Structure 1
Amino acid sequence: MMNGIEAVIFDLDGSLVDSMWIWKDIDIDYLGRFGLEPPPDLSREIEGKSFSETAAYFKERFSLPDSVEQIKADWNRMAWDKYMNEVPLKDGVGEYLDWCLSKNIRLGIATSNSRELVNSIARVHGLEHVFQCIMTSCDVGRGKPAPDIYLAVAGQLGIPPRACLVFEDIIPGILAGKAAGMKVCAVEDAYSLEQAEEKKALADYYISHFSEVLQG
């Protein structure tokens, strides 16, 4: 998997950190404020969207009175404590990052989450100086499956797409990495277990634990 790879780019939620469960809880609590319940298709409808795109989607679909900026601010506040205290790195990530650093492989994060939360997560886990580039979909304007964010991170890292490996846990993210011309490894996550076979078919590789990468 690592042959010819000069940069590794991680999605954040569900790929680098075990956090997808947070957003289902936040959707329930947030919409509950307005006397609403999350519809069954909500998760799939917003999958891959940027933080701003998701807030705009909520405002329109649920006819919310708050501005997009207010919705985003509320979500950041609701997620803050959980990210700071309840979200671990995915199994084996620490060892894999150490290995990449020992091989001078450049590292980046390409996330649909907010800038405030991703920076806080990096600080909590001591990763600020591990990643040479941390970028959000809001920075590039379009969320996944558009390849924009992966191409932008590769550009910042100074590595051609063909020499980049992406780790992603959702289908729109896998499609974004492939559309960018990169190798993609799908990461197993409880949130998307029912999509495991489709993820395997779309990605170049599939892992349930990061130790598998180093084991070949």
Structure 2
Amino acid sequence: MTLKKEIFQGIEAVLFDLDGTLIDSMWIWEDIDREYLGKFGIDLPDDLEEMVQGMSFSETAEYFKKRFHIPQPIEEIKAEWNRMAWDKYSNEVPLKEGVLAFLEELQQQGIRMGIATSNSKELVELVISKLGVKEYFHSIRTSCEVAKGKPSPDIYELVARDLGAAAENCLVFEDIIQGIQAGKNAGMRVCGVYDKNSERDAVRKREEADYYINSYLELA
């Protein structure tokens, strides 16, 4: 794989979202949300995914608690979501097409890499260890570690500081609108990534991102 020069000109660090960007996992969460709300006799609202996109794990738990009047404490809600997702993240979530070869090429080129995710620290650590890619990343951060989730730039600014890279020398890979906006709000270049779960937003993602790929194989 040879990195396309026009995309990587001047790039010192590449920052990735996790779910839907590096791994094929977004399909899990609709099932978890439906099952979790079902325990309280609540049907899954049609607008739920749209309302929580970009939120940190903690912000999402707070949203659920307030909107659905969930009696559990925030930390207990998060712990239950981790338990519900654990087996799927252990056994059913693959890397997206071309990711491993892409990470290897970035490493060979001396480009530092980080993860900036809205998921929980526990699930991130689990899945990147299971998939054998943890070693590629010099920074792994979650939106729970900053003041606001995406589209706020906070998480991308934090990872860039970890990597010692100026915003103008960072390239972000993201699969959702709020994530693309977070990268742009941080002053970074952004490559939108196709994901089946956000297919409805493909046109807008192309418009808001600097670049767009359907697969990492396109960067070969």
> Does structure 1 residue 159 correspond to structure 2 residue 154?
no
Q: Secondary structure at the match of 1:129?
A: helix
Q: Aligned equivalents of 1:64 and 1:127: distance in 2?
A: 36
Matched, 1:79 2:88: no
Instruction: Provide the C-alpha distance between the structure 2 equivalents of 1:128 and 1:89, rounded to a whole number of angstroms.
Output: 12
Alpha-carbon separation, structure 2, partners of 1:43 and 1:71: 17
Look up the equivalent residue of 2:174 and give its one-letter code.
E
Query: 1:141 & 1:89 partners in 2: Cα distance?
Result: 29
Equivalent-residue separation in structure 2 for 1:30 and 1:150 (angstroms): 30
- Aligned counterpart, 2:96: 90
Q: TM-score, normalised by structure 1?
A: 0.98
Structure 1 runs of 4+ with >3 Å offset: none
Measure, in 2, the Cα distance between the counterparts of 1:58 and 1:99.
40
SS in 2 for 1:107: strand
Q: In 1, distance between residues paired with 2:192 and 2:159?
A: 18
The equivalent of 2:40 in structure 1 is 34
- Give structure 1 stretches of 5+ with no counterpart: none
Offset of residue 38 of structure 1: 1.2
Which of 197, 209, 212 is equivalent to 1:206? Answer: 212
What is the rounded CA distance, in whole Å, between the counterparts of 1:28 and 1:87 in structure 2? 19
d(CA) in 2 for partners of 1:198, 1:60: 30
How large is the RMSD of aligned CA atoms in angstroms?
0.6
Does the residue aligned with 2:207 lie in a helix, a strand or coil?
helix
**170, 174, 179: which is aligned to 1:168?**
174
Aligned length: 214
Mapped to 2, the partners of 1:135 and 1:52 lie a distance apart of 14
Distance 1:117 1:48 in 2: 17
Displacement of 1:125 after TM fit?
A: 1.2
2:108 match:
102
Please give the secondary structure, in 2, of the residue aligned with 1:126: coil
* TM-score calculated relative to the size of structure 2: 0.96
1:65 corresponds, among 61, 64, 71, to 71
- The code of the aligned residue for 2:46 comes to P
Q: In structure 1, what is the Cα distance between the partners aligned to 2:147 and 2:141?
A: 11
Q: C-alpha distance in 2, partners of 1:21/1:128?
A: 22
Q: Name structure 2 gaps, 5 residues minimum.
A: 1-6
CA distance in 2: counterparts of 1:31 and 1:213, whole angstroms: 40
